[in-house]
Every structure is written in structure tokens, then in C-alpha cells.
Amino acid sequence: MYRDNTKEVRIGGRVIGGGNPVLIQSMCNTRTDDIDATAEQILRLEEAGCDIIRVAVPDMEAAAAIRAIKKRIHIPLVADIHFDYRLAIAAIESGADKIRINPGNIGSRERVRAVVEKAKEYGIPIRVGVNSGSLEKDLLEKYGGVTAEALVESAKKQAEMIEEFGYDNIVVSIKSSDVMMCVKAHELLAAECRYPLHVGITEAGTLLAGNIKSAVGLGIILYEGIGDTVRVSLTGDPVEEVKSAKLILKALKLRKGGVEVVSCPTCGRTRIDLIGLAKKVEDMVAGYDLDIKVAVMGCVVNGPGEAREADLGIAGGIGEGLLIRKGEIIRKLPESELLGALEEELKKLQG
């Protein structure tokens, strides 16, 4: 399912492209110069499963903070720079594992060249990022507005500029908040781009809307074998981005590991607090590194059958429920004891 003909690119201790697994990326929403808050957030993101983290670098204080932040985290750090090429140079010198720039807003070719030369000196990749909101005026005029073709042409032009300076350690991203335009742009670009692609639906929205748009768009793109790193862009806690990205990758069979929770939508037969129980189970299993499926079902009529494909399951009755292992009922318990019994089984599997 991966495009295995893309160039391999190393980002810190991680490698993308060339058929390597898709990695999850997120972005801090702290002030980067607040070293404690930023490092603390990154550690939470690491725990949630984030593989690569990006931070904003709007000023020299933020660029300088990268050095201290990197001493306290364990995943590669990407510096996000706009407009001022000097910030890119400073971020590289502070130890950024990758930089994200839009050469179109950095300024003159000589300023872009200076950034490329510094990246070359330190051996770090440059992510060329193009968003639908930052397209060049000539392309907007050529295509009559923002289109998939315009996004692709912009990205290719920016990457070619870096290549002209003798550097091909490049990652490309093209993003739009228009889901189907984003899909089409990735399909067009993937057909003629040998660089790894960072994929996402930009400005997707709040938790509900953002997750739906991201799941639809990224589901299509990733299913077509396109994408080497992925970000679910949500307005809120970035930990939620990582959780969502993991679920999308697992649903597409692109990532294994971690407990998958399936639960029924409830119906008039439900006589236990299934909604609350399912949420508690979801929170509980986050701490287990097990590649298993857990089913949470609301009714003993269909629950055992529906849970048969799961490794563990619980099915509710009237104030009580069944604990199920591999489709076999092993215990009947009061509702208040179901969660604890399930955790006992998880602990046995964890060893």
C-alpha cells in the first residue's frame, strides 16, 4: 500500500519514504519560548504515540529555545518558519531535525539559498509546505483561484528551487481545508513526485468536524498508498490529533499495536451505562501495549456474538454483564465489577 519508490529521508532518528511506515506528526500550541510548557506538552504527545513534533518559530527567542527543548524530549523536532530566513538558519543551528518553510514567502532566491546551504551543512531535511491560503498570485491568476493543479504546480516549483541549489533532502506537503481538492492534489502530485509526502487536511476544524474531515480525506489519500507522515489538524489539545491519527492508521491496517476498542451504538435493550463504560474502557486501555481488540456491548442478546471476533469483551444485562474471552463467556458479574474484571484480563495479557 505504500509508495515504495519515494526517496528515503531521515528526520532525527526516524526514517520516512521508501516504503517505511507512515509516521504521526503533531504541532505544539504552546509558545515555543516557554520551554517548560512546550517540553511538557511534547512528552504528553510522545506518550500518546506522536512520532515527530513541530513547533512554531516566530522569533529568535523561539529558535534559541529549540536547543533546550530537545534535551528534554525523545522524538524528532521540526521548526516551522515563515517569512524570515534568519529564523530558519537559527533554528537549524539550535538543533532542529527538520525545517518547514514555504520558499515563496521566505524572500529572494539568495535568502532561500542561505537556508538551503545551512540545511545542507547540518544534513537535515527541508519540508516544502504549500497551503491553499498561501498560493502565489500568478498561479491564482493562471488557474482562476485555488485548485488542486495550482497547489501541485506551486509545490513542484518550490521543490525545484531547492534542487537548483544542489539539495534534494526534501519532504513535500500540500494542504487544503477542501477535502476533495486535497485528495485530488495528492493524487496528482504522487504521480510525479519522488519525495516523501506529509499529508493532512489543514484547518480541519474542531474535534468533531476536524475528525470527520480528516478521516474522510486522509482515509482516501492513505488508502491509495500516498503519504509518509500524517497530521490530523484539530482546534484543541494536540494529543487528540495523535489519538485520531492512530485510529485512522489502524482502521486502514497501516499501523499495528495498541488496544482497539469496538462498542455498539446502544439501543432500547441496553440496561447498563454503556456510554460511560465504553469511555472508561477506552481510557483504561490506552496504557496497555497490546495488539488486541476489546468489545464493549450493551446487551446480552447479541453481545456474545458481536464480541466473538474480539480478544476480550464485556456485554451488559440488567445491572450485570458478561466477561467474554475469544467469544467464550467466562464470568457473569455485577455492572460495577465489569471494568475491574476486564482490567484483570488485560494485565494477564500484558504479563
**10 Å Cβ neighbour count for 29?**
14
Cβ–Cβ under 8 Å, residues 170 and 162: yes
| Prediction pTM value | 0.85
Cβ–Cβ under 8 Å, residues 312 and 285: no
Confidence of residue 271 (pLDDT cuts 50, 70, 90): low
Distance CA 342, CA 351 (A): 14
Confidence of residue 305 (pLDDT cuts 50, 70, 90): low
Delimit the CATH 3.30.413.10 region(s) of the chain: 260-350
Mean pLDDT of 311-336: 83
Nearest-10 crossing angle of helices 148-164, 179-190: 40
Q: 260-350 maps to which CATH number? A: 3.30.413.10
pLDDT at 2: 46
Mean pLDDT of 107-127: 93
pLDDT at 302: 62
Give 306-312 contacts, CB < 8 A, sequence gap 24+. 306/264, 310/262, 311/349, 312/342, 312/345, 312/346, 312/349
pLDDT at 137: 86
Delimit the CATH 3.20.20.20 region(s) of the chain: 9-251
Cβ–Cβ under 8 Å, residues 218 and 201: yes
44-86 pLDDT tens trace: 999 999 999 999 999 999 999 999 999 999 999 999 998 899 9
User: Which of the following CATH numbers is that of domain 9-251: 3.40.50.720, 3.20.20.20, 3.40.50.300, 3.40.1310.30?
Assistant: 3.20.20.20
